[in-house]
């Protein structure tokens, strides 16, 4: 039996406490599977007195979290603080420079500094692992980096934020509006007090940037992602989508075509009959398309103490076994530049929801603008007609470019007969 693998944990919030609980509960099984015992040596968190529901008495409590990066009795530093600067960044950088393996759940850190950290880990000859950073309990990092390594991957897409998926599911099932359901999600602990990162798509975009780098052998390029959240989705949009045979999901989309990469995170219409359309509540799902696997989809809980701690332990076990691989699937020096796909080349059908004054000539003005932008109408719905009250009109288009639909929507929104900003949603033909 190999000597114990000694770890230090920084951050004892939901995930950190879950990690300790998992290691305490399944220590014997983990030792058998890893080929050596996983031994927690030291821990750190902001508040030592807080009751976390786990027994920490057997572990040394350190006041300086950065000290763990230099201790000779620690092999692996587990960073569960979060954030792309400050203690999290300093800890990971110092641990790698001290030739310590690092396990993190920090997608924000990786999306911003992943390239530099990957180079640092490879130069030091240690592992930087982050299964828990994307989709919680779904082993998508390992699947892309190892399971699908023999494929030329062309597409990766999926539902990457459970909070948004829960809100959209509840809106559909109850008929309530966004603000009401968001408040309930906060009360249940599914959404943060400040939900910006979730509902505005930033959290999911962090994850998408990592997936695209892994899938396409490209440099991480978070700033190149076109990001839209779900704040503007209304109960009427949900109802119209259902009538048309779709569900609205916040989807991260990555596509590679000849080295040019599309990265977008946006609410989309997906067919009710599709597998992705039936991923509900707080669940996540990721689909990968490759030349030899065709299409593969993994689904599971994307967050929470148990699923995320499980992903952290999987990384620790790989380190214990001596498994090693480049941080982003190929050596950092071999990652290709991430060339963004222009909006004019991103083609899809579109859903266009307009709220218009009920007066003659409105549709003629709208269709003229669509014609001038080479956008063809596939179908149109109009619901509600109370005299003098605004009317919802939904237009489904044939394939058109993102550049054209956005330019057309801007002109339509400037018409005096339009009483709200037009809603544009991409249609995914899954």
CATH 3.40.50.720 at 5-133, yes or no: yes
Do 140-301 and 343-427 have matching folds? no
Q: Could you tell me the pTM of the whole model?
A: 0.95
pLDDT for res 385: 67
pLDDT beneath 50, residues of the chain: none
CA atoms of 71 and 12, how far apart (whole Å): 20
Among 135, 136, 129, 340, residue whose Cα is nearest residue 219: 340
Among 36, 37, 3, 43, residue whose Cα is nearest residue 19: 43
Helices of type H across 69-201: 86-97, 107-124, 140-142, 162-174, 178-188, 196-199
Give how far Cα 100 sits from Cα of 36, 121, 125, 132, Å.
18, 9, 9, 19
pLDDT for res 137: 87
> Domain spans of the chain?
5-133, 140-301, 343-427
**Contact (Cβ atoms closer than 8 angstroms) between residue 356 and residue 419:** yes
pLDDT for res 384: 66
Phi and psi at 76, nearest 5°, equal -130, 130
The CB-side HSE value for 341 (13 A sphere, CA atoms) comes to 21
* DSSP classification of residue 337: P
CA atoms of 221 and 208, how far apart (whole Å): 10
According to DSSP, the β-strands at 5-10 and 76-79 are: parallel
> Hey, which residues are catalytic here?
207
* DSSP classification of residue 276: G
To which residue do tokens 């790698």 refer?
A: 96
To which residue do tokens 């850190």 refer?
A: 109
**Contact (Cβ atoms closer than 8 angstroms) between residue 91 and residue 79:** yes
What is the CATH T-level fold of the domain 140-301, as seen in this structure? Answer: Dihydrodipicolinate Reductase; domain 2 (3.30.360)
pLDDT for res 59: 95
Phi and psi at 320, nearest 5°, equal -60, -35
Task: Read off the pLDDT of residues 81-100 as tens digits, 9 standing for 90 and up.
Answer: 999 999 999 999 999 999 99
CA atoms of 421 and 200, how far apart (whole Å): 17
pLDDT for res 304: 85
Q: Which distant-in-sequence residues (6+ apart) come within 8 Å of 398 by Cβ? A: 349, 375, 376, 377, 378
pLDDT for res 236: 94
H helix or E strand, kind and range, residue 355: strand 347-356
Listing DSSP states for 165-211 in one string gives: HHHHHHHHHH---HHHHHHHHHHHTSS-SS-HHHHTSHHHHHHHHHH
**Contact (Cβ atoms closer than 8 angstroms) between residue 283 and residue 300:** yes
CA atoms of 30 and 134, how far apart (whole Å): 22
CA atoms of 391 and 382, how far apart (whole Å): 7
Is the Cα dihedral 218, 222, 224, 228 positive or negative? positive
pLDDT for res 34: 94
CA atoms of 229 and 252, how far apart (whole Å): 11
Query: Both tokens of residue 401?
Result: 């470019």
User: What residues does 298 pair with on adjacent strands?
Assistant: 286
The CATH code of the domain at 343-427 is 3.30.70.260
């Amino acid at each position: 039996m190999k000597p114990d693998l000694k770890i230090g944990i920084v951050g004892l919030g939901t995930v950190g406490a879950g990690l300790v609980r998992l290691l305490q509960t399944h220590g014997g099984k983990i030792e058998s599977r890893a080929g050596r015992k996983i031994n927690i040596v030291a821990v750190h968190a902001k508040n030592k007195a807080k009751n976390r529901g786990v027994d920490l008495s057997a572990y040394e409590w350190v006041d300086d979290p950065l000290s763990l990066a230099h201790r000779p009795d620690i092999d692996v530093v587990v960073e569960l603080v979060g954030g792309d600067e400050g203690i999290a960044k300093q800890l990971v950088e110092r641990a790698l420079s001290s030739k310590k393996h690092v396990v993190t759940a920090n997608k924000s850190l990786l999306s911003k500094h992943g390239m530099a950290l990957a180079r640092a880990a490879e130069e030091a000859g240690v592992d930087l692992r982050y299964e828990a950073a994307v989709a919680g309990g779904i082993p998508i990092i390992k699947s892309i980096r190892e399971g699908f390594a023999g494929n030329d991957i062309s597409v990766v897409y999926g539902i990457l934020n459970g909070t948004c998926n829960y809100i959209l599911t509840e809106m559909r099932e109850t008929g309530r509006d966004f603000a009401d359901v968001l408040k309930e999600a906060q009360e249940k602990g599914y959404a943060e007090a400040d939900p910006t990162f979730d509902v505005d798509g930033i959290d999911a975009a962090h994850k998408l940037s990592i997936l695209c780098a892994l899938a396409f052998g490209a440099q991480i390029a978070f700033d190149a992602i076109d990001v839209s959240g779900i704040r503007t989705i209304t109960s009427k949009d949900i109802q119209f989508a259902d009538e048309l045979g779709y569900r609205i999901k916040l989807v991260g989309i990555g596509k590679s075509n000849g080295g040019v990469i599309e990265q977008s995170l946006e609410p989309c219409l997906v067919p009710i009959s599709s597998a992705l359309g039936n991923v509900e509540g707080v669940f996540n799902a990721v689909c990968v398309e490759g030349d030899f696997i065709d299409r593969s989809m993994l689904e599971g809980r994307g967050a929470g103490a148990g699923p995320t701690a499980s992903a952290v332990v999987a990384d620790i076990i790989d380190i214990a076994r001596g498994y090693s691989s480049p941080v982003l699937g190929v050596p950092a020096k071999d990652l290709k530049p991430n060339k963004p796909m222009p909006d004019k080349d991103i083609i899809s059908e579109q859903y266009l929801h307009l709220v218009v004054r009920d007066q003659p000539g409105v549709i003629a003005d709208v269709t003229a603008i669509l014609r001038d932008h080479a956008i063809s109408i596939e179908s149109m719905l109009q619901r509600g007609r109370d005299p003098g009250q605004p009317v919802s009109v939904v237009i489904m288009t044939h394939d058109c470019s993102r550049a054209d639909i956005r330019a057309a929507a801007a002109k339509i929104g400037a018409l005096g007969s339009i009483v709200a900003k037009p809603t544009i949603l991409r249609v995914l033909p899954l």
